[in-house]
């Protein structure tokens, strides 16, 4: 799918009828958003740009030289964005930016929250840009704001898990471990996106030296990223603390169960010895013909069971 946006006044607006003259719409567009382009759309963009759009495997390269470079087509930046995942987990998706003098081209897979929010702001007339460079910096600024919102959501969920682990005596601790694992994974994905944003902004700063305003905005973004990186480190520490606490409580519960079985074995062991002694199949057993032998043996077994229980209770082992 191709979406094209152009500037009307100082606000960015979506071109609602690009199919009437696609070539003209591409030429007038300030921003061309290619989301999972078809073969026909990719060929059309390749013809327009006189270059090949990056393929998915090229976009996912991790080498710095493959993610940030400049050629005859423009400035290329491949940046990680946070994407929704399955079962409450997040994932990452790489977006390829091609920055030219007159337009910005984005190539991506999937529907990302940052781009969805940007389109909503465009429809509301809230995106005021004058150049593709301004738009690119605005996208990274919004990306960092969205990551900050997700971190706040993770912190809120951690507070709920903290209450579950430390205060709720009836909580299922296995569920807490599952939630902590998901939050740790999401926090790691956010930290990865923040680190990638640092590299992207540093690369762009070297190519946007002519604009003082964009340089200042880029510096503010980097300061925000540094703050959020510290926040992710704090969340990692909190997650590790809750994970250790949860495992500790689980171990205590398991030790309590093992202790009960151990004490039960100690309580019933002496009566078992007495019963075994009187259950031997010998022809002659002392007092086997005694009238009160059975009653005495039963009382002896009860006494041998009560005495260990009383001793453990006195020692506060129960």
Structure tokens at 244: 């250790």
> pLDDT, tens digit, for every residue of 95-124?
889 888 888 888 888 888 888 888 888 888
> pLDDT, tens digit, for every residue of 252-305?
788 878 877 877 787 788 888 877 877 777 777 776 677 777 788 888 888 888
Residue, of 145 and 318, whose pLDDT is higher = 145
Query: Of 120-129, 134-143, 204-213, which has the strongest mean pLDDT?
Result: 134-143
Which helix (H) or strand (E) covers residue 15, if one does?
none
SS3 49: helix
Structure tokens at 308: 């260990």
Q: Per mean pLDDT, which range of 157-166, 177-186, 190-199, 264-273 is the poorest? A: 264-273
Closest by Cα among 244, 241, 239, 205 to 222: 205
Which helix (H) or strand (E) covers residue 74, if one does?
none
CA distance linking residue 269 with residue 304, whole number of Å:
9
Beta carbons of 129 and 12 less than 8 angstroms apart = yes
Task: Find how far residue 310's CA is from the centre of its chain.
Answer: 52
Q: Tell me the average pLDDT of the chain.
A: 83
């Amino acid at each position: 799918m191709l979406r094209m946006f152009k500037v009307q006044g100082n606000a960015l607006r979506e071109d609602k009828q690009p199919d009437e003259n696609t070539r003209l719409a591409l030429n007038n567009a300030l921003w061309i958003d290619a989301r999972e382009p078809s073969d026909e759309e990719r060929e059309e963009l390749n013809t327009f740009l006189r270059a090949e759009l990056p393929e998915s495997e090229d976009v996912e390269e991790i080498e710095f030289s493959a993610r940030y470079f400049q050629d005859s087509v423009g400035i290329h930046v491949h940046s990680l964005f946070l994407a929704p995942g399955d079962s409450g987990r997040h994932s990452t998706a790489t977006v390829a930016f091609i920055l030219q003098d007159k337009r910005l081209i984005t190539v991506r897979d999937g529907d990302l929250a940052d781009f969805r929010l940007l389109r909503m702001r465009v429809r509301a007339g809230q995106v005021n840009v004058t150049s593709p460079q301004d738009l690119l910096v605005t996208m990274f600024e919004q990306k960092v704001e969205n990551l900050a919102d997700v971190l706040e959501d993770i912190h809120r969920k951690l507070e709920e898990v903290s209450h579950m682990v430390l205060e709720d005596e009836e909580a299922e601790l296995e569920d807490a471990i599952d939630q902590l694992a998901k939050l740790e994974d999401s926090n790691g994905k956010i930290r990865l996106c923040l680190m990638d944003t640092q590299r992207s902004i540093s690369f762009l700063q070297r190519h946007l030296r002519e604009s003082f305003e964009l340089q200042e905005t880029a510096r503010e973004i980097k300061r925000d990223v540094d703050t959020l990186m510290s926040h992710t480190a704090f969340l990692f520490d909190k997650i590790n603390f809750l994970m250790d606490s949860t495992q500790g409580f689980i171990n205590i519960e398991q030790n309590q169960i093992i202790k009960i079985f151990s004490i039960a074995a100690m309580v019933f062991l002496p009566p078992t010895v007495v019963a075994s002694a009187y259950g031997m199949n010998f022809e002659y057993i002392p007092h086997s013909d005694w009238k009160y032998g059975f009653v005495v043996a039963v009382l002896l077994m009860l006494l041998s069971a009560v005495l260990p229980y009383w001793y453990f209770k006195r020692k506060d082992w129960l």
